[in-house]
Amino acid sequence: MTLKVLAPMAGVTNGEFCLKMSHYGFDMLTLGGYNIDSSSISAGESILKRGRREFKINIDNYVNVIKDESEFLNVNWDGIVCVNVRSTLSENIINIGNLSSVDVIEINAHCRQRELVDIGCGQALLNNPDFLFNIVSDVIENVDSKVSVKFRANVDGVDDLFIAKSLDNLGCDFIHVDAMMPGVNSADLNLLKKICSSVDCFVIGNNSIVDVNSARKMVAVGCSGISIARKALSGLDDFNIKDI
């Protein structure tokens, strides 16, 4: 069975939005991405100022906000609750991964907004793999939840296969790959195929899924799961994900 995942969208995918999406047949719904340390919260505030949506959280109450959102989803839905977080501090990530309402903690090595990259967060973690791997190991060792790492593919200077294999060796439960190809509106299926044949853990393929066909192409190259973000914004009434 292919795992169907609602991908994170900061400023959009809170508990209420995720619950609305649940009736489309997702197995896993992702809350966030949430900024959960002082630097990423401050980066998020700058991103908000230039008009992009973000979740606004205080450093004093980030755990409680995410606890409330994940408990709301847990109480009202019986699927897998995932939380995508942006931080370079493993301790803060562990705090979220140990909430009883969180099934999967997802470390964000994906976001490319300048403000986040400038503080070494999101996609910038891929350019500093030892630092990323230290965070991931620490989180895996100390959380009760399962661990996912979401990363953007085809970032300059990054060896995607090395990243995927290393995350697998560290013991990640999920590798969530945004197989984006710069300037192209379709996923990098060749890369996904290489990753899927090189790792043992669950690979969730992401990018440009808009219908059953585009989802099935990801499954055909070996992905155990697929995730959808932008298509969910316009509704999934013309797309029965149960047919994937």
Ligand X SMILES: Cc1cc2nc3c(=O)[nH]c(=O)nc-3n(C[C@H](O)[C@H](O)[C@H](O)COP(=O)(O)O)c2cc1C
CA gap 45, 85 in Å, rounded: 15
Q: Which of 39, 88, 95, 108 binds ligand X (CB under 6 A)?
A: 108
Residue number with CB closer to ligand X (47 or 75): 47
- For residues 71-100, which are near ligand X according to CB under 6 A? 84
CA gap 223, 52 in Å, rounded: 31
Which range touches ligand X (CB under 6 A), out of 15-23, 75-83, 136-144, 222-230?
222-230
Eight-class DSSP state of 18:
H
User: Quick one: which of 191, 193, 185 has its CA closest to 230?
Assistant: 185
Residue number of the CB closest to ligand X reads 33
- For residues 197-216, which are near ligand X according to CB under 6 A? 206-209
Q: Which residues contact 13 (CB under 8 A, 6 or more apart)?
A: 6, 7, 29, 30, 31, 32
Residue number with CB closer to ligand X (78 or 185): 185
Eight-class DSSP state of 172:
-
Residue number with CB closer to ligand X (75 or 103): 103
Residue number with CB closer to ligand X (146 or 150): 150
Q: Are 56 and 44 in contact (CB under 8 A)?
A: yes
- For residues 134-173, which are near ligand X according to CB under 6 A? 150
Q: Which of 7, 66, 81, 107 binds ligand X (CB under 6 A)?
A: 7
Q: Please, which residues bridge with residue 175 across strands?
A: 149, 203
- Is it true that the peptide bond before 33 is cis, omega within 30 degrees of 0? yes
- 32 lines the binding site for ligand X (CB under 6 A): yes
Q: Give the Cβ contact number of residue 38 at 10 Å.
A: 14
Binding mask 175-194 for ligand X (x = CB under 6 A): ---x----------------
Phi, psi for residue 29 in degrees, rounded to 5: -115, 135
CA distances from 24 to 5, 28, 79, 189, 228 (A): 11, 11, 12, 25, 12
Number of residues that bind ligand X (CB under 6 A): 22
CA gap 185, 180 in Å, rounded: 8
Residue number with CB closer to ligand X (32 or 79): 32
Q: Which of 49, 56, 112, 230 binds ligand X (CB under 6 A)?
A: 230
Residue number with CB closer to ligand X (75 or 136): 136
- 228 lines the binding site for ligand X (CB under 6 A): yes
Q: Which residues bind ligand X (CB under 6 A)?
A: 7-10, 12, 32-33, 53, 84, 108, 110-111, 150, 178, 206-209, 228-231
